[in-house]
Structure 1
Amino acid sequence: MSPHKEPVTVCCAQVVSRWNEPGKNLRRAARCAKTAAEHGARLIVFPEQYATGWDPSAASYAEPPGGPVQSAYAAIAGEAGITVAGSARITGDAGLMNACVVYGPDGRLLTSYAKMHLFSPAGEQMVYTPGDSLGCFSVGDVRFGLAVCYDLRFGDLFRAYARAGVHCVCLPAAWPCERLHHWRLLLAARALENQYYVAGTGTIGTTPVARYCGGSAVAGPDGDERAAAGDGERLLFADVDPAEVERVRASFPVTGDRRDDLYCTL
């Protein structure tokens, strides 16, 4: 029998991102993190490029590793005593990346993940370089993975996280209103097919790029929604229970019937 593992409360911060106003957005993030911690959350996840607003065609606010937006998230984590998942436009040897960064309650970097699937319908691949590796971290007994927005449409990435042993994939996003139905379907599908949690954090409001309607939700390992935020500003809370992941997989062991030896040859 596996040793007992404690659940972790996750907060999805569905809040308006003020276009090109990182100072205001990050001050709001600090207040959200403090509130989330006071309500028992140990991890808070902000929407994709929350500090500046998502812009697939702009390299503005690009910064090196450890730059000002990243440093602000680190400070927020340390001050609130909570793990924080934020994002920044990070430059490096490979180019400019749309990256998610995670800081522990001591303000130290736990992991980073660069968006692997760039949104070509909006030309994101013309400005950014895709990532090529997973991003995993732990909070207590729970192992988390990271994906970003458009990544949700690519099931192989989520299967890779299942092989890596995560209990939950956190997904910061800027998913537009007109495709919100896809978002909800895919959150549930990724959770169900991998029998783990998926926590999607969407932004809201209108920018020069699109109109956003939130839709933040947490799907459990059985594919059912555990929490959903609707279309207004909200801090959405849900528990991620690693024991439930184990129970669901034991009661319906679908993974054992996969034909990974065959799929790549078809």
Structure 2
Amino acid sequence: MTKIALAQVAGGRGDPARMLDAAGRMAGEAAAAGASLICFPEQFVTGWSPEIPPGSGEPLDGPLTVAFGRMAQENGIAVAGSIVEAAGGLRPRNTVVVLDPGGNLVADYAKTHLFSPGGEDRYYTAGDQIATFSVGGTTFGLAICYDLRFPELFRIYALAGVECMLVPAAWPCCRLSHWETLLPARALENRYYVAGINTASGPDGVYCGGSLAADPDGVVIARCGPGEELLIVELDPATVHEAQSALPSLSDRRSDLYHRLLSKL
């Protein structure tokens, strides 16, 4: 069994140092509750924005990643945090970094599907790789917010042996019903756990929280309200393999046919 913590916080208050201090306290609470990993929402330190000046961001080993590493070390817990990653001469990437309890970077994932309705694709560079890592005997995969609408990515993670997907997000109130539908759907169709970590409600009224975790049957096993909250979720990797064996939809796929049909479009 693996315990994880979903840290639903209201981001972007204009004071990164205070945000990191508050996150550190949550990491301590999560570790005290027996969690092996804590995951925060998308760009929670600064607040997500689709518009970002050219040349913005920091390197993968920059100040925020270092701060997350220190947080992990001080609390003895793996930390999944979010940064704006500088990408050389390219536009920056929207990236999640994972630090192990020793403060070492063990995974990084750049958002694959950029939110074009908000113009994110005009300011960021899309990622083109998946990222997996293991904590407490469970294999995790990473996606970010808008990625949730693309089942192809989640299927690739299932074929890669992932047992739980983490989806940090800044998902607005106006589409919260989509969030509540898609997270369990991604879990059910791939027969693994999916945990969505959303931004808590704040003074701007854009976000409404609703972080949740769904099991391999698509059943919601834990859910947050709208405000700031630390949600502890227990995962059983054996449940994933039992579910996939009982209903072997992954092995019944016809990938050869799918490729042929796509080639005719």
Q: Name the SS of the counterpart of 1:204 in structure 2.
A: coil
Q: What is the TM-score normalised by the length of structure 2?
A: 0.94
Counterpart residue number, 1:221: 216
Q: Does 1:160 align with 2:156?
A: yes
Contact (CA 8 Å) 1:18, 1:24: kept in 2 or not?
no
Contact (CA 8 Å) 1:65, 1:92: kept in 2 or not?
no
From 2, 5, 15, the counterpart of 2:9: 15
In 2: Cα distance, 1:190 partner to 1:207 partner = 31
Kindly provide the amino acid, as one letter, of the partner of residue 166 in structure 1: V
1:9-48 residue pairs with structure 2 within 5 A? 9-48=3-42
Counterpart residue number, 1:196: 192
In 2: Cα distance, 1:89 partner to 1:48 partner = 10
In 1: Cα distance, 2:51 partner to 2:12 partner = 17
From 225, 232, 247, the counterpart of 2:227: 232
Offset, 1:46? 0.1
Kindly provide the amino acid, as one letter, of the partner of residue 31 in structure 1: R
Offset, 1:180? 0.4
Cα distance change of structure 1 residues 65 and 256 upon mapping to structure 2, 3 Å threshold: closer
Contact (CA 8 Å) 1:204, 1:211: kept in 2 or not?
no
Counterpart residue number, 1:258: 253
CA RMSD of aligned residues (A): 1.4
Contact (CA 8 Å) 1:63, 1:91: kept in 2 or not?
yes
Counterpart residue number, 1:145: 141
Offset, 1:61? 5.9
Contact (CA 8 Å) 2:201, 2:228: kept in 1 or not?
no
Counterpart residue number, 1:242: 237
Q: What is the TM-score normalised by the length of structure 1?
A: 0.94
Offset, 1:236? 0.7
Q: Does 1:77 align with 2:72?
A: yes
Offset, 1:111? 0.6
Q: Which stretch has the larger CA shift, 79-88 or 53-62?
A: 53-62
In 2: Cα distance, 1:115 partner to 1:231 partner = 25
Offset, 1:47? 0.2
Deviations 1:63-114 (A, max 9, x none): 1221111111111011110000000001123541000000000000011000
Q: Name the SS of the counterpart of 1:51 in structure 2.
A: coil
Q: Name the SS of the counterpart of 2:201 in structure 1.
A: strand
Q: Name the SS of the counterpart of 2:250 in structure 1.
A: helix
Structure 1, unaligned runs of 5 or more: 1-6
Percent of pairs identical after alignment? 50
In 2: Cα distance, 1:112 partner to 1:50 partner = 16
Cα distance change of structure 1 residues 86 and 207 upon mapping to structure 2, 3 Å threshold: farther
Offset, 1:263? 1.3
Kindly provide the amino acid, as one letter, of the partner of residue 30 in structure 1: G
Q: Which stretch has the larger CA shift, 98-107 or 250-259?
A: 250-259
Kindly provide the amino acid, as one letter, of the partner of residue 146 in structure 1: L
Q: Which stretch has the larger CA shift, 31-40 or 210-219?
A: 210-219
